[in-house]
Structure 1
Amino acid sequence: MAVKWLDDPEDHDYDAAADYLSLISEDNAISATVEALKSAVATQRKAKDILRAACLDLLPATNPRVKTDLAKIDAGKKLSPVLLVRGKVLDGVALQIADGYHRVCASYLTDENTPIPCRLVSWQT
């Protein structure tokens, strides 16, 4: 079954992104970066490429959140686009999935080449 997507991230996705980013950066960079995500133009990236760039393992279908997203996919419900913060390969900094790791994994398990709508920005300072 093909994964269906909402046109825009939901408001709570930005809050979740800010919460995660607060673990790895300072408040001023988080606020500016989340604001940039809100106004970023949508793009699409493949599930396999997002996981590779983020240096993250694929979560299994048995993970409760992945399982929930797989059920949504099977039911034909739309998932929220993911929020990404670009890494810096020359500095050894990986892409950050600010919000949507479980959705990326569920999409990958459906088809690793699934095009995922994203909001992708660089860190704002």
Structure 2
Amino acid sequence: MAVKWLDDPEDHDYDAAADYLSMLAEEATVTATVNALKSAKPVYREAKDILRAARLALLPPDNPHVRSDVNKIGHGKKLSPILLVRGTPADALQIADGYHRVCASYLTDEDTAIPCRLVSWVPKA
């Protein structure tokens, strides 16, 4: 079954990204980075490459959130695009929002092109 995607992330995805990123950077940097995500053009990346760049393990299919997203895929529902923040060469890519959706997509077809919003950290002004 093909994974279907919404054209744009949902508003609550940006809030979730800000919550997560707030543990990694100061508020002004997080706000600027999330604003950059909101205006970023879509890019497409494969699930296997996102997980490798983020240095994250694939979550198992019995993870409740992954299972929920796999069920959505099975019912033809569209998933929200993934929000990514590029790390430095020494630091991993941050999946600011969408880790479970990446895993569900991987479990469905690891080569699926996933729509993402990808930005670099925006330093506070």
CA distance in 1, matches of 2:23, 2:112: 29
Aligned residues: 123
Aligned positions of 1:1-125 closer than 5 A: 1-89=1-89, 92-125=90-123
| Structure 1 ranges of 4+ moved more than 4 A | none
Q: CA deviation at 1:6?
A: 0.1
CA distance in 2, matches of 1:87, 1:3: 27
CA distance in 2, matches of 1:56, 1:29: 23
CA distance in 2, matches of 1:26, 1:121: 17
Q: CA RMSD in A?
A: 0.4
Deviations 1:38-75 (A, max 9, x none): 00000100000000000000000000000000000000
Q: CA deviation at 1:87?
A: 1.1
User: Percent identity over the alignment?
Assistant: 72
CA distance in 1, matches of 2:88, 2:35: 20
Give unpaired runs (5+ residues) of structure 2.
none
> If the length of structure 1 is used for normalisation, what is the TM-score?
0.98
